[in-house]
Amino acid sequence: MGTVTPLPLGRPTQVGFERLELTRILDLYGRMVAAGHWKDYAIQFDQDAAVFAAFRRAAERPEFRIEKRPALRNRQGMWALVNEAGMILKRGHELGPVLAPVERRLMKLVGE
């Protein structure tokens, strides 16, 4: 017979985005690209956080980072919107309100 390998019972080896979360983030990214504001993105998965970074140009720091840190779920909320300087602009328990400042900025870009 085959060898049975036990499943790891501890915390997961890396944090990732769920399908609905990534869909919401990529939808916003696509609209910002269509508005001509963002040009590139990067996704990073670590043991304690998953990060989506959006760039105006590929050769600079990201304009915004959307971070998911499940360890902060019971404190300030696991979602954070971080600007280019590293300052946390918005933190919350749900993704929608955390993305609201970027959504408002998109409305201003499209309105011009």
Average of per-residue pLDDT values in the chain: 86
Residue 105 to residue 112: CA distance in whole angstroms: 11
The length of the chain, given as a count of residues: 112
**Both tokens assigned to 6:** 């036990």
For 8-54, the DSSP string reads: P-SS-SS----HHHHHHHHHHHHHHHHTT---EEEEEE-SS-EEEEE
For the CA atoms of 95, 16, 84, 36, the dihedral, rounded to the nearest 10 degrees, stands at -70
Q: pLDDT by residue (tens digit) across 13-55? A: 788 889 999 999 999 999 999 988 889 999 999 999 999 999 9
Global model pTM greater than 0.75: yes
Query: What band does 56 get if pLDDT is binned at 50, 70 and 90?
Result: confident
